Amino acid sequence: MPPRTKTKVDAAPSTMKELKDTLWKAADKLRGSMDASQYKDVILGLVFLKYVSDAFDERREQILAELAADGLNEDQIAQLIDDTDEYTGRGVFWVGARARWSYLSQNAKGTSAAMGEAPKSIGLLIDEAMDQLMTDNVSLAATLPRIYNKDNIDQRRLGELLDLLNSARFTGHGAIRARDILGEVYEYFLEKFAAAEGKRGGEFYTPAGVVRVLVEVLEPDHGRVYDPACGSGGMFVQTEKFLAAHHKEGSNISVYGQELNERTWRMAKMNLAIHGLNGNLASRWGDTFARDQHPDMQADFIMANPPFNIKDWARNESDPRWKYGVPPAGNANYAWIQHIISKLAPGGSAGVVMANGSMSSNSGGEGEIRAQLVEADLVSCMIALPTHLFRSTGIPVCTWFFSKDKTAGEHGSIDRTGQVLFIDARNLGHMVDRAERALSDNDISKIANTYHAWRGTRSAANEGLAYEDEPGFACSASLAQIQAADYGLTPGRYVGSAEVVDDGEPIEEKVARLSAELFGQFSESERLAAVVRAQLGRVS
């Protein structure tokens, strides 16, 4: 029999796009056999399992080569090859024999009865592999899903999925680390799952462009970074990328977070483990309002995209967090804002995604709370973002930025006491499809550079940036101006309209010229219509 020709699935994907496509097509094996949220957990868990095994195998091969090069014989190598420190010291998770992908792949259809062991389904083998990984690696404790042996998991399809995933490798991509590849794949999957789940997808995923606006404006490069509604951990991951882009270590920051949903909390823990971030997400999931799991923590940077306009929340009128006014029972927006401000350390700064209504609402005492925040000089910048950035909701959004210290000093060379920067970015971005808009790198840089120039940050000085109001886009407003606007914080009130470029043609002459051109086009249209009618008459 001639050798079997390799199919596309058998061939190892060589590019990042091919790897993503291979993994996503493989994931389709289980689509339709379970609900979307469980499907997400199943796939992400398997992708993670494949990654840790690939990284382990690669490190094992390196150790073998190093020991052989040192002249050790097979017996000596066998004694040293399983030294866990040789793996964990290089940022590689220890993977026990029965948690390795090779073992699971060999038993994709389950195991037969063996001496002293009952038959096991592939789902049970995967659950046991997850248990072993969490036992052997402290950072993974209570993180990985154990859902593969449940009655609603089709074991035959699960085995076929393992076969398909064999072709996807997280190693062998040149200088790109396996951990970086997995991180990109994981974020790709989160985005795809969020799109598939629609409105519910917003519970665990914030579009990367929105997260980058927060990170690039705040520049979190040290200290404690906190997110009180952390979802799958996107704010922390983007912070790690920011540090890497500026040649700084992830160890420069300490991560703190809290998440209400158990499944999302587990995703966040796995996401942090993937990116090598040691985060404190508390011992379990929980409601930030009902039980703050980091009660004494004061953060240097806070970034959050809390759920918008929550009507049913754990409200306690005597809560000490409500320093600027008790939030209304029917909307938690100003509860989130005040919780975040209560967690800021002296000199700390925060960026929060909110529904646009938060900038001007006066219902339930929100206008009074907003006025108190402005009078306390906590608001540093307000940004109106474009529509359709969130596939999960059509609600227009903005970002609030807070600063505990707006004087000249560590956070900027320009004293901005009593001032607020307003940016109207609604015209930025581009539509990637009929339902979603994205911000480009240039869009994000324009926003961040405007803020940095206004504040006089080190990055602005390095780039030689100087701030000037830009009609239609940016305006630095005084406290008196905001008071005159009844404490409304919608950027459009302050930035005005963009300047119209004067081309030197008098307006009367321009109107006459354009009118003549328009009437000429009307005449040409009538002439062409007459020609068409005549031609049709000849045909008939």
Per residue, the 3-state secondary structure of 117-159, as one string, reads ECCECHHHHHHHHHHHHHHHCHHHCCCCCCCCCCCCCCHHHHH
Per-residue pLDDT tens digits for 108-136: 999 887 767 889 999 999 999 999 999 99
Token couple for 489: 């914080």
Closest CA to 482 of 341, 333, 373, 334: 373
What number of other Cβ atoms are within 10 A of residue 540's Cβ?
Answer: 4
Higher pLDDT, 263 or 340: 340
- pLDDT interval class at 200 (50, 70, 90): low
Contacts of 90 (CB under 8 A, 6+ apart): 59
How is 74-94 classified by DSSP, letter by letter? HHHHHHHTT-THHHHTTT---
- pLDDT interval class at 5 (50, 70, 90): very low
Out of 85-89, 218-222, 226-230, 336-340, least confident range: 85-89
Q: Which domains does the chain have, with CATH numbers?
A: 16-188 (1.20.1260.30), 204-495 (3.40.50.150)
- The whole-number pLDDT of residue 532 equals 82
- The whole-number pLDDT of residue 8 equals 36
Q: Which residues pair with 388 in a beta bridge?
A: none
Contacts of 343 (CB under 8 A, 6+ apart): 226, 228, 294, 297, 298, 299, 302
- For residues 415-421, give the mean pLDDT: 97
Give CA torsion, residues 70, 76, 82, 86, to 10 deg. Answer: -30
Contact, 225 vs 301, CB < 8 A?
Answer: yes
Higher pLDDT, 261 or 414: 414
Per-residue pLDDT tens digits for 439-485: 999 999 999 999 999 999 999 999 999 999 999 999 999 999 999 99
**Helix, strand, or coil (residue 42):** helix
